[in-house]
Amino acid sequence: MSGHCLFRCLFQRQKLDSDTLLTSVELFLRSVYDGEEHGRFMEKLEARIRNHDREIEKMCNFHYQGFVDSITELLKVRGEAQKLKHQVTDTNRKLQSEGKEVIAMEELKQCRLQQRNISATVDKLTLCLPVLEMYSKLREQMTSKR
């Protein structure tokens, strides 16, 4: 059994304790270095390493581009959020200013209502004045006849 085949067979087993695994790896490495397969093993190992390196690089590039895209999107969102914040602040300032005018108009409305009520009261009292004068004269006459 060649070293490479031995190595593959060892790792296909379900359960190996650490001592058995270590012994098996030692046997495999010894068979590779002692046999004629050392160069072939190193070539396959290097090819596998290069393959894994390419896969890692692809994965990193893919995720890096996603990262860059996310950062770019966040920068756009930040700019839009700042614009929105300025708009909200400006709208709030305008609303506060308009609110002051509305409050002033409400106060003016209250003053005019009071003015109308006072004027109506004066008009009603003016209408009642002749009756009150007659009542006053009547009392005087009643008091003087006594």
Average pLDDT, the chain: 84
What is this structure's pTM? 0.39
According to DSSP H, which parts of 1-146 are helical?
3-12, 18-34, 38-145
- Determine the average pLDDT of the residues in 130-144: 92
pLDDT in tens, 87-115: 999 999 999 998 888 888 899 999 999 99
pLDDT at res. 79: 92
d(CA 46, CA 41): 9
Would you say residue 21 lies in a domain?
Answer: no
Number of alpha carbons in the 13 Å side-chain half-sphere of residue 99? 6
Domain of residue 115, residue span:
36-145
